[in-house]
Structure formats: structure tokens, C-alpha cells
A and B are shown apart, each in its own frame.
Chain A
Amino acid sequence: MERRRSPLLITVLCLGIAFLYLPMVVLVAYSFNASALASVWGGFSTQWYGELLHNRQILSAAGLSLEVAALASTGALLLGTLAAVALVRFPRFRGRLLLTGMVNAPLVMPEIITGITQLLLFVSMLQLLGWPSRGMTTIVLAHVAFCTAYVTVTVQSRLATADRSLEEAAMDLGATPLQAFVDVTLPIIAPALLSSWLLSFTLSLDDLVISSFVSGPRSSTLPMVIYSKVKLGVSPDINALASLIILLVGACVLAAGYWLRRAERVRELEAAVAAG
């Protein structure tokens, strides 16, 4: 496209980006407000962060959410990678269309529908099999289901472009198929694995709707606690908590992005050296 600068376009772009970031910047700024009244600036203070450390409800919800996110993203990484391998490497098998549909549908399904249907399943399962009782188990199972979809789609596109001949060369040199996959292809798709694990982790950590449906009476995740507080209005300790989450997630994503770019460059360099 023509590289002509149009002041109007650049203005719209800058305004759009400002629109995306301004509310978050304001939120972080207000989390350091000494005054509990959101409209008054009462000086700089970190007291709301200190109060978070004494809020048992928030701490236990945060613990539950982190545990759920770690379990769900790891489970989804395993299942999603298997599904991606199946879809990329096996062109024909019974159930391929079904699997394709089931890894794509959760991406567009409204969460509220997924949540209701999964709750109905869990209730019926509990009645018939005596398992799983609603709580952490059901939240993890529900999160694995939708995170698997995101992992599959991410890994699938990376795996489709990975060079198969390297794996074949490894097998010519005596590696078993599993060895060839683990030693050759796995490092190539590692960036996709990391980014899809991170994506699953953040999606699970952020999920409100599905968790609200499938959780039990005494298992509230962090978004559920935040939502019930936010519905009552703005509160300074939620400002602090929200800022903490936004900054932490932002820092992790930037660090991962930096690492992925470097890994990509090293690979390109290696390929260039090998070719030269």
C-alpha cells in the first residue's frame, strides 16, 4: 500500500488506541488514590494494595482461580496438541469432521449457552454416576473444554507449516517416530505451545460466565467475586486488584512476546546459516 501519511488516518488510529488504553490507565492511577471517593484525588497511597493482603475472600478466590487456570491450561495444552496433531497429520479418520467441528464451535459459541448446557450435563452426571460434584472439578473440566479449542487452532496452524522433511531425515537416521516428533517437531512448535498455554491460562483466569454456571456454592473464582463487588459500584480495593491483574498479565504477555520473537529470529538465523 502507498506509504503516504494521511493526518486524518493517523489521528483516528491514535484516538482509537487512546480509547482502548485510557480507561485502564485511569484505573491504575486511581488505585493509588488515598481517598475512597473515586472523584476526589486524596494523594498518593498504596493502602488499597495493603488491604488486599488482608481480604480473605479475595485471597482464597485468587488461589482457586490460579489453581483452576494452571490445571485447565495444562489439560487443554495436552488435549489441544493431540487434536492438532490428529487434524494435521491424519488426513482421513472416522470422526475427523466431528473433531473439526468440536474444536471450532467453542470459539464462536456464546459462553452463556456453553455454561448452561455444561451445568445440565454435570447435574445429570452427578445424579447418575455420583461424580463430579459442582466445584473446582467442574470448573476445570468446563475450562479445559473451551481452552482446548484455542490451543488446537493455534498449534494446528503452526504444525501445518512445520517442515516434515526434517522429521523424516531424523527417522532415516534411526529415530523412532515418537523420538523424531519430540526431538525435531516439538522444538519447532514450542512457541505456539507456549503462547496457547498462556492464552488458555488468561482465558481461564478471566472467565466469569461459564464458571458462574458450573461452580458450586462454596467455590467462587476471582472473576465471580470481582463481579459481585463491581455490580454494587466502584470500590477502591477492586481498583487495586484490577490494576495488579492488568499489570501482571501485561508484563507476562510482553515478556512472552519478546521471548517468542527472539526464538523466531534465532530459528531464522539457524535456517539461513544451514542454507548458506
Chain B
Amino acid sequence: MTAAAGRSAGGGRRGLAGVVDRHGRWLIILPPLLFLLVFFLIPFGYALKISFAEAALRIPPFSDVASVSADHKLHLTLSLANYRYLLTDEVYAVSYLYSIKTAFFSTLLCLLIGYPMAYAMARASKATQGILMLVIILPFWTSFLLRVYALEGIIRDQGLLNTLLLWLGVIHQPLKIMHTTFAVYLGIVYSYLPFMVLPLYATLEKLDRTLLEAASDLGSRPWQAFLDVTLPLSMPGVIAGSMLVFIPAIGEYVIPALLGGPDNLMIGRVLWDEFFGNHDWPVAAAVAIAFLLLLAGPIAVHQHYRVRQLEP
């Protein structure tokens, strides 16, 4: 792709790139570049700035970081108090670690359920594969919030599951599932399972079948062949799917807030409460910046594999 575009831009003066010419093409580049700069990137700069401010009783509720005095000198008042506060008040460290733990185990659950699903899909006939793809993708299009709500209808104290189990006589007291850690795991797996299945299916479907035949010819049992051939070759899908579940799960707000109990303090919930409950914007900005720095690792892994996948 890059080579072909380069040839026509540099040499033949053909195509959009060549003829719109060096300055004309800024008409194409600048609108999205400027928009995203102003409304996506610069906000992070603002958050960084405000994280050094102090909470104040005014509108907006924080002190000025930079001010210009009467003699036209710029004064910077940087306060590290918010970051110090993050380190001293243990709720932040606890909720961050708790988010990582929750995201990790729900990713693992998604992998354990999603891998056999993707494997079965890849083994189906071509026509069935198309239908199965649609069936897996469709929930992704329907509202995330409403799907979490729909799940609540199943696991509530008077929900379908409890009604059914009581009616069958399996239990005599309704199971307490709502507002527990289990409900949070269930919610994340339910919401993000398609994100795990699709990349896994994409790698398993492309897998060279002759390799498995070769393994079997050389005396490998099917299970052994799976561990030696299929699993290692599907690792890109495993990593891509895991990142697609892990990264959003870590910052999840709706699921712990609706399905979780008071102990399920994930970082997204803490941030939300800091903002809407305590109205402490500078601390919220500092939490957001610290959270972003801690997410940089998983995001870098994700981007690395995404770029590798895009290359043929």
C-alpha cells in the first residue's frame, strides 16, 4: 500500500496525491487533524494542567495554574498535592489494583469460553461460518447499556434464573447474584465475549490445515497436535482478543455500578464519584492522568499487535 502510493506521489504525478499537489492536500489533511487535535488531544493537556491545580469554591471549581500578574510576568502555581493525595489515600491504589484483577480474571474467563466457540466456528462449513459471524457480531451493535440491563433481568433476586430454580425446587431461597463480584464478572464476560471470539476466529480460520495433518501423520494425537500446532499459531488472536477485553474492562464504569455491590470499587467508579459526588475536579484529573499512564503498557501491546496484523 505504502509503496504503491509512494510511487504515484513521487513519480507519475497521478492520482489524488499527485495532482491535488503539496498544498492542496492540506485541505484533506487539516480538517480531521485539527478537529482531533482540539477535541481529543488538547483535552489531555488541560487535564494535566488542572491536575496541578487546587480545588476551589468557584466556577469552574479549581484554582488557576498559570496567571499573568500586573507586571506582565507569568506565574505558574503547580501543586503536587493531588498526586500526593493519590498516594496517601489508599482507595486509589486499592481500586486500581482491584480493576486490574477484575479485568484480568474476566479476560481469562472470556478466553476460556471464547476459544472453544471460535474453534467450533472455524470448523463449521463456509456458509455456516458467515451466519455465525453475524450472530456473534449482532450483540456488539445493540446497545451496551441495554444489554447490561437485560442481564440484570436474568440474575435479579426475582429474575428468571431464580424464579426457574425456585420453581424446579433446586433452591429454596433466591440466590444472591446481583450486587456481587460474580455479577461483575458475569457482566463483563457477557458484554465483551464477542470481542474475544472474533479475533480468535479470524486467526483460527486462516490456520493452515495441512500442518495439523502433518502432525497427525507424524503420530501426534489430536490433543497433542492442538497444543503443539494450533495453540501457538493462534497466539496473535489470543493476544488481540485479550487486549480488546482487558483494556475496556479495566476502565469499565457501567457494569460495576449497575451489577456490582459497594465493594466492587473499580477505578472508573471512583473517578465518576470523585467528579459527580465530591466535585473535586483537580483530584479527578490527577486520577485520570495517573490511570492513563498505567494503561500505557497494555495499550502499547495492543497497538503493536494491531499494526502487525494490518501488515500483510
Contact = CB atoms under 8 A, between A and B. Distances in A.
Contacts, number: 288
A13 B117 contact: yes
Report which residue of B9, B43, B250 has the largest number of chain A beta carbons within 10 angstroms of its beta carbon: B43
Contacts of A209: 253-254
Contact of B5 (A89, A142, A246): A89
Contacts of A112: 251, 253, 268, 271-272, 288
Q: What's the interface size class on B, roughly?
A: 35 or more
Interface in B1-53: 1-2, 4-6, 8-9, 14-20, 25, 28-29, 31-33, 35-44, 46-47, 50
Contacts of B9: 89-92
Contact of A246 (B132, B146, B159, B163): B146
Contacts of B147: 23-24
A249 B143 contact: yes
Interface in A61-109: 78-80, 82-83, 85-86, 88-93, 95, 98-99, 102-106, 108
A56 interface: no
A90 B15 contact: no
Contacts of A245: 142-143, 146
B285 interface: yes
A16 B212 contact: no
A39 B161 CA distance: 10
B17 A89 contact: yes
A206 B143 contact: yes
A208 interface: yes
Nearest to B114: A16
A59 interface: no
Given A12-B113, A82-B31, A116-B288, A90 B5 contact: yes
A247 B190 CA distance: 19
Report which residue of A113, A199, A223, A234 has the largest number of chain B beta carbons within 10 angstroms of its beta carbon: A113
B74 interface: no
Nearest to A37: B158
A124 B17 CA distance: 38
A199 B33 CA distance: 21
Contacts of A38: 153, 156, 158-159
B261 interface: no
Interface string B126-164: 000000101110110111111101111110101110010
Contacts of B43: 114, 117-118, 120-121
A275 interface: no
B232 interface: no
A249 B142 CA distance: 6
Contacts of A148: 32, 35-36
A257 to B, nearest CB: 6
Given A89-B16, A89-B17, A250 B250 contact: no
Interface in A115-153: 116-118, 120-121, 123-124, 127, 141-142, 144-146, 148, 152
Given A91-B9, A102-B40, A148-B36, A223 B14 contact: no
A117 B43 CA distance: 5
B160 A26 contact: yes
A27 B47 contact: no
A164 B15 contact: yes
B265 interface: no
B15 A167 contact: yes
10 contacts: A83-B36, A89-B5, A98-B41, A102-B33, A112-B271, A112-B288, A164-B4, A226-B149, A242-B149, A250-B142
Given A27-B150, A90-B9, A142-B39, 19 more contacts: A12-B116, A12-B117, A13-B117, A23-B190, A30-B153, A37-B158, A82-B32, A89-B17, A105-B40, A108-B302, A111-B251, A144-B39, A164-B4, A164-B15, A209-B253, A230-B145, A230-B258, A231-B257, A242-B146
